[in-house]
C-alpha cells in the first residue's frame, strides 16, 4: 500500500536515513557480538529476477527464535503492515514457517483495502486494523488498481495493491478512487506493545517504508520491534518486459540497500523481503 503527499522539497533519502540513525537501539560499540552480525548477509547486487530471489532468500533467513531464547518475554506479537489477504503472508508464511518456540502469537493485520476485511472476522487470534499505516492521523486519497478477475485470496505480494493518487494527473487511470483513513503507526505501536514483548513485524507498504521507517526511528518505536521483514520498493526490472524497469517507484535498489544497512548498523535485526 503506497502513500504519497503533494511534491515538496526533501533532503536526499540517504541523508535522511543517516541523520535519523544518530542513535542505536542497543550498544553497538562491539557489533561483532550483536545478533545482527550473525544474520544472513544482505544481497548487495540488485536481483535481475526478484520474484525468484524471494524464494531463495526465505530459505537462507536466520530467524531470531532459531538462534536466541525468547521464552522470557511477556507477550508474543506479529504485526503485518500491509497484510492484504490472510493467505498472502499471515497464513502462508508466518503461521506455517516462522519458528515460535511453542509460543502463541497474537497477530495484528494492518490493511486499509476493504476487499480483504471480511475474511479476518473469521480468524482467531487476529486483530484487524482497517486503516493505512502512516506518519500521522489523516484522511488519504488512493487510486485502487485491481487485476481483472483478481480473487481475494491472491497470494502474491505487491500486485494489484492500493497505489498513491499521483499529483501529475495522468489521464490514463480509469480505476477507482477511494478515501481511506491513515493513522500514526509509530504512536499506535508504542501504545500496543512494550519492550517486555517479543514483536515481529512484516512491512509491505508499496514505497511508504521511506516515510514510516524514519518515523519509527524518530519516535524510538523501532526499538520495540525485535525482528523486521521489510519489502523495500524500488524501480525493479519488470517480469513482463525484459530490459525495462517499473515506473511505479522512484527509489533505486542502492537506496533500499542503504536503508537495510543503516538499520542493521543500529542494531535492528531486519531481513530483505522481496
Q: How confident is the model over 97-107, as a mean pLDDT?
A: 98
CB-based burial of residue 123 (10 Å sphere; 0-12 exposed, 13-18 middle, 19+ buried)? middle
Domain ranges of the chain: 13-25+46-61+84-98+107-273
Model confidence at 83, in pLDDT bands (50, 70, 90)? very high
Position 11 scores a pLDDT of 37
Position 145 scores a pLDDT of 55
- DSSP 8-state secondary structure symbol assigned to residue 90: I
Q: Is the pLDDT of residue 232 over 50?
A: yes
Specify the range with the lowest mean pLDDT, choosing from 34-43, 163-172, 230-239. Answer: 163-172
| Higher-confidence position of 164 and 66 | 66
Q: Is the pLDDT of residue 51 over 50?
A: yes
Secondary structure percentages of the chain, helix, strand, coil, to 5: 30, 20, 50
For residue 216, the tally of other CB atoms under 10 A from its CB is: 26
Q: What percentage of the chain has pLDDT greater than the value 70?
A: 76
For residues 274 and 159, the answer to whether their CB atoms sit within 8 Å is: no
Summarised one tens digit per residue, pLDDT across range 145-181 is 554 444 333 333 333 344 445 443 444 445 567 788 9
For the chain, the average pLDDT equals 81
Closest CA to 110 of 55, 180, 28, 174: 180
Amino acid at each position: 500500500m503506497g502513500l504519497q503527499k503533494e511534491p515538496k522539497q526533501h533532503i536526499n533519502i540517504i541523508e535522511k536515513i543517516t541523520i535519523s540513525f544518530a542513535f542505536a537501539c542497543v550498544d553497538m560499540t562491539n557489533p561483532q557480538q550483536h545478533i545482527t552480525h550473525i544474520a544472513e548477509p544482505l544481497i548487495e547486487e540488485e536481483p535481475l529476477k526478484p520474484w525468484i530471489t524471494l524464494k531463495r532468500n526465505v530459505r537462507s533467513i536466520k530467524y531470531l527464535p532459531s538462534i536466541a531464547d525468547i521464552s522470557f518475554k511477556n507477550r508474543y506479537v506479529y504485526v503485518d503492515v500491509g497484510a492484504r489477504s490472510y493467505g498472502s503472508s499471515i497464513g502462508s508464511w508466518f503461521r506455517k514457517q516462522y519458528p515460535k518456540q511453542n509460543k502463541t502469537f497474537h497477530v495484528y493485520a494492518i490493511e486499509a483495502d476493504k476487499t480483504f476485511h471480511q475474511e479476518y472476522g473469521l480468524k482467531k487470534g487476529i486483530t484487524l486494523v482497517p486503516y493505512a499505516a502512516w506518519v500521522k492521523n489523516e484522511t488519504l486519497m488512493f487510486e485502487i488498481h485491481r487485476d481483472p478477475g483478481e480473487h481475494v485470496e491472491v497470494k502474491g505480494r505487491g500486485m494489484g495493491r492500493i497505489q498513491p493518487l499521483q499529483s501529475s494527473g495522468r489521464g490514463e487511470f480509469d480505476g477507482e478512487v477511494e478515501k481511506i483513513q491513515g493513522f500514526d503507526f509509530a504512536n499506535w505501536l508504542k501504545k500496543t506493545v512494550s519492550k517486555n514483548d517479543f514483536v515481529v513485524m512484516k512491512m509491505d507498504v508499496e514505497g511508504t517504508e521511506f516515510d514510516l521507517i524514519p518515523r519509527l526511528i524518530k519516535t524510538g518505536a523501532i526499538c520495540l520491534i525485535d525482528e523486521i521483514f521489510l519489502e523495500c520498493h524500488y524501480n525493479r526490472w519488470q517480469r513482463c518486459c525484459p530490459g525495462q524497469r517499473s515506473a511505479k517507484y522512484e527509489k533505486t535498489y542502492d537506496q533500499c540497500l542503504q536503508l537495510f544497512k543503516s538499520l542493521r548498523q543500529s542494531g535492528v535485526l531486519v531481513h530483505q523481503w522481496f
